[in-house]
Structure 1
């Protein structure tokens, strides 16, 4: 048995396999696109290496594409065979149990629980920490991300390989739980320790986006440019954030240029690429530029082809958005029916998410695109807290808050739109899109002699903003 550089045991006697597994883990932490290449080297050197098969299985599942489920199943079977043939550590058995929970039962919560037990038992298990972080991100469990990193902090020292990436993981969790200053400090420290840490750098971009520091954010992302190509789809997601900064400043043409040449410069089969493109096109149109039928058609073709696939509810809503924007009525109806059936079955975690909030949100988006904004408001307004369960980041889910405000304005619910805008101002800096909303509100209310924005919005009427505002400084000093 060998050990990784953080003294985590690995059941193999092949040094080249252990080295390639470590390269895979570091690539995973850095969000580099070469994880599969390192795993291929690892398994060529030791075909039965259990941890490598587990990581390969999780990598396939996390791409949320039906055609990769068979790949995940193959790696799960190989991992089990490896355990049966050579035995394994409690950690390796836990990794297999976590993968099995997701692959065979669709139980993402149970998978995260298995990984969490591993990280509590071995805080230096970088692979399990990153996988748990990723799963909890997909589940919308920001406090779980934060707590896992806080609990792991005491096991790490600055000289350990991967320490900078750990700072980046914790930085992102802090940003998502309402501690932007601490998140920015840790994110900057993460990038200083590991300049290729796209996740840590991305956490700093999130802080700047929420604070309206758009020009500074563009400069910050410019400083990451040397590593974005290595990040593949995640590198394109960082450029999506650059487009958001341009939109904040009212630079809509610059955002569209990024969409065409950097963000959606290839077919969006990757689910993150799809979400980036669909949400960005909606935001661009919301700021006054028609993006044209062809751009929506390119996304709708993919969404229609994947309409019956049991994917992530978060991505399903972006499929609905693209199908509605492209005017694909039959494909949209087929998609909504597929979501209804999955929600009714409730057979896995994502089916349960659809039942709680995803299906009504999907119907709301379809209504908004189909000319019934009032119906969209009726469905979306009560869901504001629940939409966190869709997963993704606050910046990504902000699309749904914008959709709600837009639907309020389109349906003449001006007071509600004003209250939502005031709620928004309490948690984020307002930019060019919000300024346009405020002008619409003033235009609608001024002839009636009404106050443009209520002096004190009654959030009990509309529900609190979806960001998790729970205390978020837990464990920050431990990483200092």
Structure 2
């Protein structure tokens, strides 16, 4: 007879000891805490034929959106025994293979099919949620969670994670009040849940509540910053609040001492670094050649990958900031190659990634009208290449600054009005409006 996991789903090849290690890995993944892979090593050591231990390892590796993870993920999947698998486990393997092949939409559908039959499959839910994020699918960020809610209770193991994912989905759909309430509740259930914490951070960012945001981050710092592989992204959120308050010295302090303190080569951490430096660059702030050079050097080996367009755009930002024209051309060549191919990332690249990258190149070369022409149509569907509203604000910030430098006063005024609707006290938005009004009066 097959053992069952903590939520009642049958697992093949497991022992009680291995299943305990698996649950520890899952709990770590749900909070982005500790080292889930170490727990999976224990699980496999105790039960080499434990299907879901191998599957979760593949999922964890692929969740980082890095091409370098494909080979080790496939190695994990090669260790499963198809004849022994349950139908649910077989769908997990199929979804993981789709992810490795860059078929993000197909993987998302497979996780959905798993959840229709097994709504308390916490791993399928978490992976589906991440893929929705990588595809910029705001509706499913919310509704994938909503669809399984009736099957969960407050006593179901990992319930805090369900609430944290729901909070983020609600935030990305603009339901800020509900998102904040549910996100705070999830943090009360498990203070170590870094995803729930960051869902509340997004609410405060989108509403321009910088004082509340700084307080939220600082008072809960010990929960999200210690032994947590999502910590750098949460430090990035703290830096965003300070940036919106024009506290540039504090932004650079966080960048140096937190975001790049370990010179991480994890792509998601590198995205945060690139995004922050580009925002400072748009402000006309000289961050120094050393910062640009350091982050560009760790992006350089990825310039030919073309695995995920959202990442490629951030790599491009670092190459431009560092003045590495050779890497700029390599990245453009990769994006153009991918745009001419087939698949999910090809569509992301054609529709958003390539024009955004070309716009950034134009901006860096002082061709501001060209930047505007490229970004104005793209900004309306930039979600198609993934990320959150806060992350994709990079597109809008580049557009409004290009419009300003290109003297397109009416566009600056219109875009400033948009920003002030969401953040009435934002210093940068007020400056853009002031610029437009002064130019109009002149």
TM-score normalised to the size of structure 2?
Answer: 0.97
Distance change in 2, residues 1:155/1:411 (3 Å)? same
Structure 1's consecutive aligned runs of 4 or more residues displaced over 6 angstroms after TM superposition are: none
Paired with 1:389 and 1:430, the residues of 2 have a C-alpha distance of 29
Q: 5+ unaligned residues in a row in structure 2: which ranges?
A: none
Counterpart residue number, 1:350? 345
Q: In structure 1, the residue corresponding to 2:153 is in which secondary structure?
A: coil
Give the CA deviation at 1:216.
Answer: 1.2
Distance change in 2, residues 1:155/1:46 (3 Å)? same
Paired with 1:194 and 1:302, the residues of 2 have a C-alpha distance of 34
Paired with 1:234 and 1:312, the residues of 2 have a C-alpha distance of 19
Q: Which of these residues, 330, 333, 337, is aligned with residue 337 of structure 1?
A: 333
Counterpart residue number, 1:468? none
Q: Which of these residues, 419, 422, 431, is aligned with residue 426 of structure 2?
A: 431
Aligned length: 441
Q: Deviations over 1:240-276 (max 9, x none)?
A: 1100111122211111100000011122421121111
Counterpart residue number, 2:126? 130
Give the CA deviation at 1:68.
Answer: 2.0
The residue correspondences of 1:36-435 to structure 2 (distance < 5 A) are: 36-79=37-80, 82-84=81-83, 87-103=84-100, 105-230=101-226, 232-346=228-342, 348-435=343-430
The answer to whether the 8 Å contact 2:282/2:398 transfers is no
Counterpart residue number, 1:35? 36
Q: In structure 1, the residue corresponding to 2:230 is in which secondary structure?
A: helix
Counterpart residue number, 1:15? 16
The answer to whether the 8 Å contact 1:233/1:273 transfers is no
Counterpart residue number, 1:465? none
Distance change in 2, residues 1:430/1:157 (3 Å)? same
Relative contact order (C-alpha < 8 Å, sep 6+): which is higher? 1
Give the CA deviation at 1:287.
Answer: 3.7
The answer to whether the 8 Å contact 2:419/2:429 transfers is no
Q: In structure 2, the residue corresponding to 1:400 is in which secondary structure?
A: helix
RMSD: 1.4
Q: In structure 1, the residue corresponding to 2:85 is in which secondary structure?
A: coil
Give the CA deviation at 1:120.
Answer: 1.8
Q: In structure 1, the residue corresponding to 2:28 is in which secondary structure?
A: helix
Q: In structure 2, the residue corresponding to 1:299 is in which secondary structure?
A: helix
The answer to whether the 8 Å contact 2:282/2:397 transfers is no
Give the CA deviation at 1:44.
Answer: 1.1
Q: 5+ unaligned residues in a row in structure 1: which ranges?
A: 448-480
Q: Deviations over 1:277-306 (max 9, x none)?
A: 111112223345310111111111122222
Distance change in 2, residues 1:260/1:209 (3 Å)? same
Paired with 2:14 and 2:41, the residues of 1 have a C-alpha distance of 17
Give the CA deviation at 1:83.
Answer: 2.2
The answer to whether the 8 Å contact 2:417/2:433 transfers is no
Distance change in 2, residues 1:359/1:287 (3 Å)? closer
The answer to whether the 8 Å contact 1:228/1:236 transfers is no
Q: Which moved more, 1:239-248 or 1:220-229?
A: 220-229
